[in-house]
Structure 1
Amino acid sequence: MRSLELTLRSTGIDADAAYQRITEFERYPEFVDEVRSVVVHPGDADGPLASDWDIFFRNGPLRWSEIDYFQRDARRIVFEQTDGDFELFRGSWRIEPVADGCEVTFEVTFDFGIPSLAGVLEPIATKVLKEAIATIVGSLLGNVTVIGDPATAAVIKARFAGADERSASAA
């Protein structure tokens, strides 16, 4: 079993607007190739929703369904797999206001349920998850800095610098 936490800071967007954008799960495939599809099944207006995820991981699909609980006043989302390829997959998003924008914290605990491969699969999954989440948040909110994770920060900085260069050369 593996747990990870990723914190990102975004300037120029307040916590309420950031929370709203992060809840738009169906947009995630626009930002990273690994997320092939997210199908959202809305529930009651103030209740949880169900979502189905299809991710490309290690040369094949990884699929699960989850239930998502929205705590709008606290700007928090709690999720847990209800069915799928993980033995365990649960976590949360938390969005907090800071002086010039917001801070987003993503936490997840997961277990593939294959003890003999945990030493190989879980570190790879951790890296893929961190980079994908940072890319998605950066794409949704703009001007994102990864806090306390230099390896992920370097990848994201290079990824967004490359996107900025492609946009400039297309103009």
Structure 2
Amino acid sequence: MRSAELTVRVDDVEPGAAFDTIKDFSRYPELSDVVRSVTVHEVSENEEQSDWEVYFRNGILTWTEADRFDRPGLLIEFSQVDGDFADFSGTWKVTPDGTGCLIGFAAEFDFGIPSLAGILDPVAERVLKETIARVVISLFDSASVVGDDALARAVEQAEAVAVGGR
């Protein structure tokens, strides 16, 4: 099983407000050219199911996930219930940090194809981290990747290309 983790610092945003912004998955396609679509189905006040389509390599990954929201704990837990991964689950965690907050994302995934894991998994990890970082940075005026200089540079380059291509 492969894992992907990243942290984004958001300045001057209260943790609860950041949590509410992050949990609005239906906005993600407008924030990243990699996310093709997200359809959200409310299950209860603290649960949703969301259907995802994400461009990956020369195709599209699709899955449905169960999303559980713990507003008091500023925690979102998700797990695939159906889709292209053999296993996909993770968390979003918002924590206070000075006048802002840190948004942590962690996921574990497995495509279930051991013979291709050495090729697919590193690419999927990179794409997942870059996509999540770009989405979070797009959600807030003052946000930056922390603790991963290579990811921060990749996100900056991707944003420069996106701006230059418009």
Same fold (TM over 0.5): yes
- In structure 1, runs of 5+ residues without a counterpart are none
Q: 1:145 & 1:56 partners in 2: Cα distance?
A: 24
2:43 partner SS: coil
1:12 alignment counterpart:
12
Percent identity reads: 47
2:154 alignment counterpart:
155
Q: CA deviation at 1:100?
A: 2.1
Tell me the TM-score normalised to structure 2 length.
0.94
Q: 1:151 & 1:56 partners in 2: Cα distance?
A: 22
Change (3 A) 1:162 1:144: farther
Q: 2:38 & 2:155 partners in 1: Cα distance?
A: 22
2:94 partner SS: strand
Tell me the TM-score normalised to structure 1 length.
0.91
2:108 alignment counterpart:
109
Q: CA deviation at 1:31?
A: 1.1
Change (3 A) 1:79 1:94: same
Q: 2:6 & 2:18 partners in 1: Cα distance?
A: 16
1:39 alignment counterpart:
39
1:73 partner SS: coil
What is the one-letter code of the residue matched to 1:84? G
1:2 alignment counterpart:
2
Aligned residues: 166
- In structure 2, runs of 5+ residues without a counterpart are none
2:44 partner SS: coil
* 1:49-88 mapped onto 2 (5 Å cutoff): 49-88=48-87
2:140 alignment counterpart:
141
1:13 partner SS: coil
* 1:94-105 mapped onto 2 (5 Å cutoff): 94-105=93-104
Q: CA deviation at 1:59?
A: 0.7
1:26 alignment counterpart:
26
Instruction: Show CA shifts across 1:66-104 (max 9, x none).
Output: 000000001100000000000000000000111021100
